[in-house]
Structure 1
Amino acid sequence: MSTFSGLFEEIPFISADRFDGENLRSKIFFLSHCHMDHMRGLDRPEGLPGPLYTSAVSRVLVRKQFPNVQDVRVLEIGSAEEISYESDGEEYRVVVTALPARHCPGSIMLLIQYRELKILYTGDFRLTKADLDSKFASLRQLEPDVVYLDSSFLKKCYPEFPTQTESIKKICDLITEWTSISPQHKVIIRIPAQYGSEFLFMEIGRKLKQKIYVANEQLEKYIFFPDMDQCISSNLKECNIFSLQKHEKGMFGSFHYRIIQPSALFWKNWTRGQPICKEENKNTIRVAYSSHSSYTELKDFIEFVKPKKVQLNVVSKMPEEMYKCLDEILGELEQSSKERKEPAIVKSRFDNLFRVPNSGYNRKYEEPIRMPIKRVKL
């Protein structure tokens, strides 16, 4: 759950992923992806006092879900866009590049250049070391002045997660194993939250060529995602797979059902080589699945981009462990730079431990394309 305030200390009058309170004084706005903890304030009847920049996928979702937000503009992946805006007679310019975040359909990171500063805002993201090495070469040794980091799992008790490909394969195997017994055998996928499972459902539908049942209240949210209508349905009778957060006894009559619970929080201290599923009881199996980076992936990311300072976008109620982990990572990075006689990384202490609580994944995107700067003036 994001605790990012929406405001950037280094850049005046812009906001990202929060659209209420002090953020309404901003002149331009950015949305990294369409999950509700990043969209607070978009439902205000007056809309926003400035344009909202986001990905092409997220623009479709915002326009359908929040018709009151009328000025929604697309950031093309890999394209540097210069945006000018004014406040109190003073003109400001930022250059913004959207990069794929691989968290959910349409999710993006934002590389923002303001004067001599480079700020990288990750939103929510899941990038492995292999992703960084093969498809994000432009971020290698970027040395941004600040990274605003998705720190959901910046804890040593979450050292690793299976890749999403591995987790989805296991879930599909478990579904096929059970539903092939007889037409009376059904599967319930018990999701941990209302959002975050879009890519999972799309991949299950694509691989198994089956639709997943979702209740009408869920359908209203998912249907806005492109291609989701190909993998979900509200018709109980045509489905063998059901997405539910809970279900009542007798809901499925005489059917035999297996419950599969994809989750990340449950899998503390998981490391590669261990099983990625665990049988809870006769009918329930847990599967390790995460759309956020693990501790090791976060460490790899920080070492890859070499930031001068890191701000955490997700801070728990007991943040000491997270900041201790961050200090250790930055300390190791500083020491490594000294040994290689590279420019020293600035290791920052973090006074602002408690941020104001906050109210794409698309595999076709590869290495960001170098394109001329596109200039926009408000």
Structure 2
Amino acid sequence: MDAFDGFVKEYTGISVDKFVERNFRSVAFFLSHCHLDHMAGLATESFENFLKRSANVSIYCSEVTAELLRSNSRLAPSRTVLSRLISLPEYFPSNINILNGDKKGTVSVTLIPAGHCLGSVMFLFDGDKGKVLYTGDFRYYADQIEKCEVLLSLSGTLTALYLDTTFCDPYSRTFPKREQCIRGAVRQIKEWTLNTNAVICLDCRMEYGYEPFFVALHQELGEKIHVSSKKYSLYRGLPEILDALTLDGDSTRLHLCAPGKCIRTQRKTDRELCTIKLCAQTFVVRKRCGQLYIANSRLSYSYCYSMHSSLDEIQKFVDFLKPDSIVPCAVPHSATVHTILGYLKTSDITEAEPVNIPKIPFQGPTFSLNDGSKNADIERKDCIEEEMLSFEDEVVLPRRKRMKNS
């Protein structure tokens, strides 16, 4: 559950990952990455009208996120929104105009890679109210902290840490590194493809975040991955990823769509349909989060691929930074703000009460690939589009059982 209202309370006039009406008093907006649960209101008419009334309001993001927004019409930001986008470089401080009470002021903003998905960043705000770090959704291993000079310099200096606590729960104690998951999944797919009748379905539900897997699979097998025209369009400005993808489903055995949804795999009954699913929630629910994979059957494997930090990783991140206060930005189903802060063993805390964030529909034109390609026309006819999810499968974690009084 979302527990963050978008306001960085130390600095008046800043909103992060929220673009709804209650945030319209902000003068500087920040987008950490292109997943829908962090883009509430961005493509709505009300936000567009607000921008038209507010000439000095800007939206800040990473360079990759700006490129993705311009390429992905399913996210459908208006021309007005796109005109207000300002992409900032990573690691280099930038001065941003904000409100400080009733007065105008400036704050330094530094973008730090968040390790969550393509273009995802943390925001480090530094001004007269101290240093504040907003992680957005993030995945950081302990050894990665030691390699980031900006994070190394922050230990013991943070006034507040706005923290991704999606998996801050004992059910999610540890996850394998994603590199391990990718190697394991690629190895399994390679073994299946030794059977020339095999067709591989890649079940990867989220919009962004699996790109290293796509590239590794293409490099290892020498085959491109068949995707829908809409999926292909997402990476229009990123040729290193497009090189691993194709619109021609007859040229490859690798298909990026939910199992059974690609007509090519449905109509070839003589082919063995093999499925690889990359996910984390399944492992959490089954209490197998430290496991690399689950063999659902001989031809179906799930691999533990988490884009969020595990509880152990979150604890090590907090232990290193030693912030004065922590604001949890998400509350797992089986937890509360109080239990989260207990897991993090912080004595000086700032509590963020859970708020109900309305799901706002993203309005805009549907992308239509029209490049004169024969493959594009074929693609539209015989590949059912995959769903675009902001998070993996919506799964309710099991409640802890209460002990009966004896």
Q: TM-score band, normalised by the shorter chain? A: 0.7 to 0.9
Q: Which amino acid is 2:70 matched to?
A: R
Q: Which runs of 5+ in 1 are unaligned?
A: 332-345, 360-378
Q: Does 1:324 align with 2:339?
A: yes
Q: What residue number does 1:374 align with? A: none
CA contact (8 A) 1:309 1:348 kept: yes
Q: What residue number does 1:342 align with? A: none
Q: Which amino acid is 2:349 matched to?
A: S
2:301 to 253, 266, 285: 285
Q: What residue number does 2:17 align with? A: 17
Q: What residue number does 2:395 align with? A: none
Shift in alpha-carbon separation, 1:310–1:247, aligned structure 2, 3 A:
same
Q: How far did residue 91 of structure 1 move?
A: 0.9
Q: Deviation digits for residues 102-158 of structure 1, max 9, x if unmatched?
A: 111211100001313211000111100010123345345143111111111101111
Cα distance in structure 2, aligned partners of 1:226 and 1:8: 36
Cα distance in structure 1, aligned partners of 2:101 and 2:174: 48
Q: Which runs of 5+ in 2 are unaligned?
A: 360-406
Q: Does 1:62 align with 2:69?
A: yes
CA contact (8 A) 1:198 1:222 kept: no
Q: What residue number does 2:124 align with? A: 111
Q: Which amino acid is 1:348 matched to?
A: I
Q: Does 1:178 align with 2:192?
A: yes
Q: Does 1:310 align with 2:326?
A: yes
Cα distance in structure 2, aligned partners of 1:204 and 1:313: 34
Cα distance in structure 1, aligned partners of 2:279 and 2:332: 18
Q: Which amino acid is 2:169 matched to?
A: K
Shift in alpha-carbon separation, 1:83–1:298, aligned structure 2, 3 A:
same
Q: Deviation digits for residues 204-224 of structure 1, max 9, x if unmatched?
A: 334433321122343344546
CA RMSD in angstroms comes to 2.5
TM-score, length-scaled by structure 2: 0.77
CA contact (8 A) 1:17 1:38 kept: yes
Aligned length: 340
TM-score, length-scaled by structure 1: 0.82
Query: Match of 2:345, SS?
Result: helix
CA contact (8 A) 2:2 2:356 kept: no
Q: What residue number does 1:147 align with? A: 161
Identity of aligned residues (%): 26
CA contact (8 A) 2:232 2:242 kept: no
Cα distance in structure 2, aligned partners of 1:8 and 1:251: 53
Q: Where does 1:266-285 land on structure 2 (aligned, <5 Å)?
A: 266-268=282-284, 269-270=287-288, 275-285=291-301
Q: Deviation digits for residues 304-346 of structure 1, max 9, x if unmatched?
A: 11111111112245532x6314224224xxxxxxxxxxxxxx5
Q: What residue number does 2:314 align with? A: 298
CA contact (8 A) 2:259 2:275 kept: no
CA contact (8 A) 2:3 2:353 kept: no
Q: Which amino acid is 1:12 matched to?
A: T
Structure with higher RCO (Cα < 8 A, 6+ apart): 1
Cα distance in structure 1, aligned partners of 2:208 and 2:289: 26
Shift in alpha-carbon separation, 1:83–1:226, aligned structure 2, 3 A:
farther
Q: Where does 1:221-232 land on structure 2 (aligned, <5 Å)?
A: 221-223=234-236, 227-232=240-245
Cα distance in structure 1, aligned partners of 2:192 and 2:144: 33
2:252 to 232, 239, 259: 239
Cα distance in structure 1, aligned partners of 2:275 and 2:243: 23
